[in-house]
Structure 1
């Protein structure tokens, strides 16, 4: 499970204090001089003999993922070391396999000084979060952590896996207010997605609109629908065309949209592509945030509204009709970018710097996948925000 554990919010004095203590620990690792670069790129599997094993063990011991063993110098990846590798992989957001694969080797080779710089940078980010003027009840989405936490009175009550924007379509750092829950929403395809994704696909798949339940309108999203049977999508001027997807299970927004007006036009929503939540790195969207178990989060968001409950949401879903639940008291939400934090047991956790904001030696998720032939298969990509 790649979700944070415990009830301490990312945005808290407790987290800031724990990160300050962690910085002191990493400073001691840096003072010890680090270690030589572990060479090669050949995978090391449990039971393998390899001359690099003592070097890997030294790194795991220094980071606290293995206990030191006096006078022990085996060249075999034994069970204890496999457990240490799994702990290291879990802390770094890597696929937990117990093998020293390329992504793991590259993370092992990040110098302690770079990790210290990353930890200090994220200490400042968490400190800045404390200055946000938001209520004691809020939702926080940590983009590179691919998770959301629902907080009330300084306690995390829910955590959810999320899917965030691709590196070339980034989910922004933004603070807004959740104002409504839109059940069975239309998806009004943004112009950028229409130009980059929809029209090029139509040139190759003329029946794509029908398969995806997308209508083409003129002038606006409530304008008249046009007959597309004779449209040449290779030469069409799409400036005045609007693409709107009908509500339903096929809709790219799934069955609920969490409305949070902001200058970037991003929001949280359901998705029909639920297998993507099983991926370790989840930068797949066009900028919006897809939420696992989103109806549970929706019930938490709307729980102060009269008659609102998880059972009420089930009734809405069974009814199949578009319903908007407007919140009488808007709920704060923050999308943040934090790539290092500390768990309640003291473990320092790092996540890949998917958007290159840290400028430390860390690999983005697409490169990790490129070098991990045993990663779970990717589901077929579909059009989605």
Structure 2
């Protein structure tokens, strides 16, 4: 069922929403034409030339004097090579096939343990192609034992880090959720030097988590978010039909494990700022930036969340300020983006779009305050609403956004959703995958700060968002 809400936003804001929501020529042409009708050809020309800069977090930051030549080359290589961190086939994480694959991985690793395990590669300075290092033979042996170095040269004791070893290191890094640089650097050593017994224990722990998910009958249609893998899978008839990269909660604002039901889709949503975000993030920020509320179109409401209050009349350092509520208007600046996926639960977390789309290019994506931001969310929305009247064909979500009309869709066929914490699994081809224990729930050292960080660029700023 579709319900329309009044979208009381200026026409220019609607145009900005169109520009932000789509890179498609049709949407851009609509926006430029509309601005021309407003009698401002210069503004229309600017929109056409720089429309991407209206997306929060986009643009070209100036790091003059901070980039090294090596950093420039690596950045160009990363941009040329698309992110490849999504699982490769249609086998669901929550399946008997996955249980069988993990059982086979445990058996393989147990054979390695019974033969004495793999060697430790002493941590130290970076190892990379073209350089000599006394540890290279150990590294080569380590990667042969885990199957990352496909050619076996047991008698080859060269100390030179060659191209074959670079490829093996990249393969290992991909399997461990690390940025595949081909260099053995600080972020690689902790994963590389986990013993085979520790890896077996990790596989067994995650096998137990998947068995627990399988304890109840598996629904024909559901969504599963694997938090430490930063990815979502939409499953129907026991096959994955879509996968999406996601942004999850940062270490101090963890995304919880959740079993809930997706019941509605909200286009052009308001964001009712949670009290925790208001107290920890919003009020401290507006004390430093008095215009922040106006710039971000955030309204101040009374303690009941009903009556609007002039922020100029509030003493933000007084205890009474902690009782106030905040609500952000719909639009391209909204922290929820252009659509929210409603899934009522005790943790009050949900899934949503985001204006901070450049963050999806990071391999480690723990940036939110607990909710889950979904890349390509309109495709997921089309899948969720597939059986709703008038939906059917893909692209309907995009059409609603381009129409600029606030719409609430109540699903007549609600979809179960799971937020889970799986840090080890196996694929049908025999590859064994591990991910850093970002929240310490496996009892391992938190490695999230070491993941996918280019030292020539600053870490992404923590934004005010769910």
> Structures share a fold, TM > 0.5?
yes
1:179 aligns with one of 253, 257, 263: 263
Q: Residue 337 of structure 2: which of 251, 254, 278 is its match?
A: 254
2:443 corresponds to: 359
1:7-43 CA distances to partner (integer Å, 9 max, x unpaired)?
A: 0000000010010000000111111222443223211
Instruction: Tell me if structure 2 keeps the 8 A contact 1:145–1:351.
Output: yes
TM-score normalised according to structure 1 size: 0.95
| Equivalent residues of 1:162, 1:282 under 8 A apart | yes
Deviation, 1:322, is: 1.4
Partner of 2:276: 192
SS of aligned partner of 1:83: helix
- Cα distance in 2 for partners of 1:311, 1:141 equals 23
- 8 Å contact from structure 1 (residues 266, 287) kept in 2: yes
Q: Secondary structure at the match of 1:257?
A: strand
Moved more, 239-248 or 265-274: 239-248
1:318 Cα offset (Å) = 1.2
Q: Which structure would you say has the larger Rg?
A: 2
Q: Is the partner of 1:237 in helix, strand or coil?
A: helix
1:203-242 aligned at under 5 Å gives the runs 203-221=287-305, 223-235=306-318, 237-242=320-325
Shift of 1:167: 1.3
Counterpart secondary structure, 2:320: coil
Q: Any conservation in 2 of the 1:149–1:160 contact (CA below 8 Å)?
A: yes
* 2:139 is the counterpart of 1:31: no
Given that 1:200 and 1:234 are in contact with CA atoms closer than 8 Å, whether structure 2 keeps it comes out as no
Q: Please state which structure has a larger fraction of its residues in helix.
A: 2
Query: 1: distance between equivalents of 2:450 and 2:341?
Result: 31
Deviation at 1:129, TM superposition (A): 1.2
Aligned 8 A contact 1:275 1:379 in 2: no
Shift of 1:353: 0.5
Partner of 1:373: 455
Contact kept in structure 1, 2:119 and 2:141, CA below 8 Å: no
| Structure 2: distance between partners of 1:167 and 1:379 | 15
Q: Which runs of 5+ in 1 are unaligned?
A: none
Q: Distance in 2 between matches of 1:93 and 1:201?
A: 33
Which of residues 19, 44, 67 in structure 1 aligns to 2:127? Answer: 44
The match for 1:151 is 235
Query: Distance in 1 between the 2:218 and 2:266 partners?
Result: 23
Q: Which of the residues 241, 245, 266 maps onto 2:349?
A: 266
Residue 368 (structure 2) aligns with: 285
Aligned to 2:174: 90
RMSD: 1.5
TM-score (norm 2): 0.79
Cα separation, 1, equivalents of 2:463 and 2:173: 29
- Verify the 8 A CA contact 2:173 2:180 in the aligned structure 1: yes
Q: Quick one: structure 1 residues 190 and 133, their matched pair in 2 at CA, closer, same or farther if it must change by over 3 Å? A: farther
What is the distance in 1 between the residues matched to 2:430 and 2:193? 22
For structure 2, list consecutive stretches of 5 or more residues without a partner in the other structure. 1-83
Deviations 1:131-172 (A, max 9, x none): 134521110100111100000111000000001111111111
Q: Which residue of 2 aligns with 1:383?
A: 464
